[in-house]
Amino acid sequence: MLYNNNEKSMGFRSQKLAGPGRLITLEGIDGTGKTTQISSLASAIRKQDISVLELREPGGTAIGEAIRRILLDNRNTGMCSESEMLLFAAARAQLVREVIRPALAAGTWVVCDRFSDSTLAYQGYGRGADLEIIEKINNLAVGSCRPDRTVLLDLSPDAALERLGRRPDKADRLDIEGRTFMKRVREGYLAIAAGEPQRFIVVDAGQPARALAQEIFSKIWGGLGI
């Protein structure tokens, strides 16, 4: 899926709701259907006459996309966990300053496929990097830019791996991690969500896509008090 960054160059559309935009992030292990749900959520928000920008991590900027190619390249199997963590943070810092902050200031809502929680879950819980160090790096990368709501698409590693096996495209460097790694990452996500219940919305990603999309929009819309 191509993520729409055209609004940055064309200028942000006006919307009914005044004030700053909202940052909504979607998280989960690979195979949970984030791409589909981000598209559905953005479409539902646009129907409320609100400008929406869809982004992905790493990516969304020229620098971020270049970093993405390095991170996902299957040839880079020798990448150490520290390099991986810092590359994700570098792409995130660029995205926040170049795209997300200006969009939010203009009143545009941003729906992002992954954000700082991914680094905690994957590099922290998954790879065993120090969580306190990751928190400090994340804080440096995002500054005061924090999600208003985060949707965690929860799915068992077995179900996720089955879905990944049906993908027609070639698996990237992170897709080829095994079940044990995915189990640690999932447990990490659940632990992070439990620590911030006011921000997180945990949903069952195993349900039909349409029902899941309706649940996500309903909880986002109602949870923000709109």
What residue ranges do the domains of the chain occupy? Answer: 19-221
The CATH class that applies to domain 19-221 reads alpha beta
* pLDDT score at 223: 82
Please give the residue that has the higher pLDDT: either 107 or 169.
107
Quote the CA–CA distance of 120 and 223 in Å, as a whole number: 24
User: Which pTM does this prediction carry?
Assistant: 0.87
- Helix 209-223 × helix 34-46 angle, to 10°: 50
Which helix (H) or strand (E) element contains residue 110? strand 109-113
Percent with pLDDT over 70 in the chain: 86
* pLDDT score at 112: 98
Confidence of residue 225 (pLDDT cuts 50, 70, 90): low
Does 186 have pLDDT greater than 70? yes
Does 6 have pLDDT greater than 60? no
